[in-house]
Structure 1
Amino acid sequence: MMTVQTEKQRVKRTRARTCRVRTGCLTCKIRHLKCDESKPECKRCIKDQRKCDGYSKHVPIRSNHNRPWSVTVLPHKPEPSSPCFGDMMLVDRTDNALHHHARVYAAHDLISFDTGRGFWQQLAFPLSHIVKPVRHAIIALGGAHRCFWASNPAEGALVHADVKNEAIQKYNEAIQCIQLVMTGGFEESTQTTLTCCVIFICIENLLGRFSHAVCHLHAAIRLLNCHRQKLQHPPSSKIPDIYGLKRGHSTYDDDMHDIISEMIYWLSQNVALYTGDLYVPELDWHPCIPSILGDETLPFSSLQEARESLSYLDFVYEANFNSDTTSADIQRQRSCPLPLKALSHHYTNAANLTQAAYNVWSSRLDLFKRSMSGVQLGPHEQQSLAWCELQQALWRAFLNCSDGGYTKENSCHILERVEDILQIESAQTRPVFKFDGDLLSSVGFVCTACRDGDVRNLAISLLRSIRRREGVFDSQEMAGLFSRMASVLDGKVATWEALPWGATRLSLELSRLSDTS
């Protein structure tokens, strides 16, 4: 039966004409929910057991009611030559919240000691305010990082399809803008493209799509080398002549390209460890090497000096190891559990020359620790010292490695140093993402290089106990991979000597053995 409505009943109901509240917490903004604005954490986030990301700072707007009318003539500003460049503001609430998350939370994970600070603080984040593809990429990074946080099973309720969809949408928009920039032939295109490449790699790693990350890495290396050849930069003269060996190191005069090159270099090292390759596509850039390690009877002046001096050890070993390596050697090392086992003659020569440099570095670090005894170190200094001690343990195990792999004592020492770092980071309850990192690869070396089954099981248990991703390494995936490897070894399906090193090759070999058994 139809009902006849009166004029009063047909009146459209509207909201009161008041300003919408836009001061809610960033988490509620992303979720498009009303926020009670309690501080320091809103009650809705506490009730839903979510992380409250806090509140944006708002600049109070002065009232113009009592000011006389005036006309301001704005100077003419020509339109930018490209639609992808120019001043811009984040007006979308979701974009603003994800951009904030990238700058505050993702950046904390992406910057480790001296690596990454220049790229994110001097290049990527400033460019995100004026360059559209970089802005989209940073917003996508914020969304991918929030999704990674939500990957913790204990916080499964945090998984939001809208955040992931927003991240993927911004990711696609960034790629579309990059294509416009590259076809436009603008001077900023190379820097913008390379900046986005680094951000894309981080996004793919956060989403667990490692093969896509490697594709972006190879593209960035090709573009960097092509750009350097175009500019015809001369080789750097900062690299010392060590033991009569000279190596062609190049860097860009442009500081920004040098910053990007550093990021690409460390990413390539991370990927090489993951895939089991000693050699990655040649990048015409290497870290600046200190000319000397100093007097072994004197302590390092700071932890920064100790960290920077480590690059000297890498250079000495690589220069001697690679000096007479052939393509046949490269093929042989890919089928062995440790790269040094296939190239024992190269390893012996390089290790002997590196041992002297390591002794100096290790002695100076020990003297520094003694000089700092009784001094209360802050969290950052504690973490830096623990990282140096981990490198000390890794080099000791590597240089004293025999055909039987790492010794039980040296392997346990590595695991202890990893646990020290994890203990310092114990306040972090969410999954941790690092741009490159050394913890997971260090535990991986113990799993593949130590024959002792008990030590291997300790390493696997350590991986299972944490939620951590470092570049392309993921703790849970590594735990599963090495558990399969342990089962193969314990069941005598294969011998330790027959298994390849590197996660990708090891996974393929284990799958093959599973199919044939």
Structure 2
Amino acid sequence: MATNRRVTRPRSRNGCITCKIRHVKCDEEKPACSQCQKSGRACDGYDDASQTQLRQRIAERHRPIERDTFGADHRLVLRQETRTERRYVDFFYSRTSHAFSGFYDSKLWSYLIPQLGEHEPSIRHAMTAIGAIHSRVQNAKRLPSPEEGSAPTERFVLEEYNKSIQNLVKSLSSAKGQNLHLTLTSCCLFICLEMLRGNQTQALDHIEAGLRIIHKHEQTAAAACSSVLYRELRSLFLRLNLQASFFGRLLIPLKLTSSETIRQISIFTDFPESRIYLDQLMTKALLFIRSIGIMREERDPTLQLEFEAEQEHIRQDFLAWRWSHDKLLHKLGPKITPSDLCASLLQRIYYHTSLFWVLTVLGRDEDLFDNYIPDFESVVSYAEEIVRINSSSSPSIENSADFVFSLEGEIIGPLYYTSTRCRHPQIRRRAIEIMRHYSKREGMWDAKLYCAVAKLVIEVEESQCVVPPTSEKDIGSLIRIYEHVQSRERDINPALVILYMKPDGIDGPWTMRSVMVDW
């Protein structure tokens, strides 16, 4: 009697990752298998690994970070955390660290600070407070004002903030001396916390304190600290130094990389390295600009020649940076990731904006900006491309379109500068249009406020045009606004804006006009 035998075939190991983990048969269709589509799941693509290997990878990804030797005593803190505290620390790990990293893979936020928080209670409490306030900001889709925030969350944040300060004092006292890593990291977290809470003055105070600690350390230490954590913190504070300078604080003169070093680099390793050198050049450029001032006075010919020589030297530094950056961009070619592309676009925006600063600072009238219309157009086009890439919510950029807050400045500052200095009517209105639809807050830059101020500048400058302007040449020299300054309390609505003009020509007196702007 014949026996019906089941025909056996070798099991395929070519199924998608999702089906392998679920232990179901995959039809191996690409790019997404129909088994996943029918069940409403996202197909995670294909990989040669077995189920066991895949599960090991997942377990490795979620494994807690091992402690490193930041403290000499290797303290192990047995935390008695509440469920609420753990929830907000987890939010810091999963969401805040990505939001603060921006378009870059940041060791500081994804690894170094969480690692230090494993054995430093002050850091852990600060992370908890930041996770709580950031969670509320994300849920509200806008930065809350004190009356809009929920009282329990605000009380919880303040409690964690106080615990962080108390533990920091205790740790520094027991160490019988200043712990540079702990102090700078705490200062960095307090900056983030105050920015998220909308306390601009306190955030600026913490930035200044951190910069002075770094400056003093590098002036007095026999050998500057070279740890990875210190280098990452220093790079962050260098960028915060620039941001604070735009909000009325002094630019702390930290040591910068020499021009020779920058010009010797034939190609950057990656975009984080490219950013480090651009930050150095921007700081150098801003120190030069601050040394000249904003009065537009006629200068002694000898002094003018000295300024022009320094101006040209800085310009050559920027050109050398752009050469190395473009070679890296060409090397990556079409294989560039969305996050790297956004990083490159953002760096090119700041490259152009920094050149505007440097190349126009010695000019006495505003007409000089009309020579850079193509560069202004590039800034706006790059910003539009960043917004377009972000709006696609690509997984490779960590859903950055979902974040409504970033620690550092991105596109708002350059767009504001473009909309007020570029007199081409279409280009400046494109810049304003991006800000008008931009719901993200970048550090202390609020798009709503600067969009309103830019509209005021345009309204004043175009008020004497008989017909709507079609070119920058239609904006007369005598009606142009030279400077526009907001009060220190920028979070107040309406905001006080002071416009500085030269209606009698460059050699005439300054005229000031105060306007209250609703935003």
* TM-score range relative to shorter protein: 0.5 to 0.7
Q: Determine helix, strand or coil for the equivalent of 1:87.
A: coil
Q: Determine helix, strand or coil for the equivalent of 2:335.
A: coil
Mapped pair 1:261 → 2:234 = yes
Question: Which residue, out of 252, 262, 266, partners 1:281?
Answer: 252
C-alpha displacement at 1:147, in angstroms? 2.1
- 2:383 partner letter: V
What corresponds to 2:409 in structure 1? Answer: 437
Percent identity between matched residues is: 17
CA shift in 2, pair 1:217/1:308, >3 Å: closer
What corresponds to 1:172 in structure 2? Answer: 162
What corresponds to 1:417 in structure 2? Answer: 382
* Equivalent-residue separation in structure 2 for 1:354 and 1:99 (angstroms): 44
- Is contact 1:273-1:441 (8 Å) kept? no
* Equivalent-residue separation in structure 1 for 2:313 and 2:143 (angstroms): 49
- Is contact 1:466-1:475 (8 Å) kept? yes
* Equivalent-residue separation in structure 2 for 1:446 and 1:167 (angstroms): 38
When normalised by structure 1's length, the TM-score is: 0.65
C-alpha displacement at 1:169, in angstroms? 2.0
Mapped pair 1:270 → 2:259 = no
Q: Determine helix, strand or coil for the equivalent of 1:264.
A: helix
CA shift in 2, pair 1:262/1:372, >3 Å: closer
C-alpha displacement at 1:431, in angstroms? 4.2
Alignment of 1:133-282 (within 5 A): 133-152=122-141, 160-187=150-177, 189-228=179-218, 232-234=221-223, 251-275=224-248, 279-282=250-253
* Equivalent-residue separation in structure 2 for 1:349 and 1:501 (angstroms): 30
What corresponds to 1:448 in structure 2? Answer: 420
- Is contact 2:121-2:167 (8 Å) kept? yes
- Is contact 1:110-1:434 (8 Å) kept? yes
Per-residue displacement from partner, 1:181-205 (whole Å, max 9, x unpaired)? 4444545644323211100101111
Q: What stretches of structure 1 of length at least 5 have no aligned partner?
A: 1-38, 42-56, 60-79, 235-250, 337-342
C-alpha displacement at 1:108, in angstroms? 0.3
* Equivalent-residue separation in structure 1 for 2:447 and 2:479 (angstroms): 24
- Is contact 1:289-1:311 (8 Å) kept? no
C-alpha displacement at 1:206, in angstroms? 1.3
* Equivalent-residue separation in structure 1 for 2:134 and 2:153 (angstroms): 10
What corresponds to 1:94 in structure 2? Answer: 84
Mapped pair 1:475 → 2:447 = yes
Q: What stretches of structure 2 of length at least 5 have no aligned partner?
A: 1-39, 43-57, 61-70, 297-302, 394-399, 465-477, 500-511
CA shift in 2, pair 1:137/1:442, >3 Å: same
What corresponds to 1:125 in structure 2? Answer: 114
C-alpha displacement at 1:468, in angstroms? 1.6
- Is contact 2:440-2:447 (8 Å) kept? yes
What corresponds to 1:75 in structure 2? Answer: none
Per-residue displacement from partner, 1:376-398 (whole Å, max 9, x unpaired)? 32222322332343244335544
CA shift in 2, pair 1:451/1:100, >3 Å: same
What corresponds to 2:309 in structure 1? Answer: 349
Q: Determine helix, strand or coil for the equivalent of 1:382.
A: helix
CA shift in 2, pair 1:147/1:496, >3 Å: farther
Mapped pair 1:382 → 2:341 = yes
CA shift in 2, pair 1:154/1:345, >3 Å: same
Q: Determine helix, strand or coil for the equivalent of 1:280.
A: coil
What corresponds to 1:16 in structure 2? Answer: none
When normalised by structure 2's length, the TM-score is: 0.65
- 1:143 partner letter: A
Per-residue displacement from partner, 1:403-442 (whole Å, max 9, x unpaired)? 4253333222211111111212112453432222331121
Q: Determine helix, strand or coil for the equivalent of 2:405.
A: strand
CA shift in 2, pair 1:258/1:300, >3 Å: closer
CA shift in 2, pair 1:40/1:207, >3 Å: farther
- Is contact 1:437-1:471 (8 Å) kept? yes
* Equivalent-residue separation in structure 2 for 1:88 and 1:377 (angstroms): 44
- Is contact 1:436-1:470 (8 Å) kept? yes
- Is contact 1:265-1:286 (8 Å) kept? no
- 1:152 partner letter: K
Q: Determine helix, strand or coil for the equivalent of 1:513.
A: strand
* Equivalent-residue separation in structure 2 for 1:224 and 1:370 (angstroms): 36
Q: Which has the higher contact order (CA 8 A, sep 6+)?
A: 1
Per-residue displacement from partner, 1:352-375 (whole Å, max 9, x unpaired)? 2233333344345445545555x3
- 2:513 partner letter: L
Q: Determine helix, strand or coil for the equivalent of 1:291.
A: helix
* Equivalent-residue separation in structure 2 for 1:218 and 1:292 (angstroms): 27
Instruction: Report the number of matched residues.
Output: 404
CA shift in 2, pair 1:171/1:287, >3 Å: farther
What corresponds to 1:466 in structure 2? Answer: 438
- Is contact 2:285-2:354 (8 Å) kept? no
* Equivalent-residue separation in structure 2 for 1:454 and 1:353 (angstroms): 33
What corresponds to 2:429 in structure 1? Answer: 457
- 1:378 partner letter: T
* Equivalent-residue separation in structure 1 for 2:108 and 2:80 (angstroms): 21
C-alpha displacement at 1:142, in angstroms? 0.4
What corresponds to 2:299 in structure 1? Answer: none
What corresponds to 1:291 in structure 2? Answer: 261
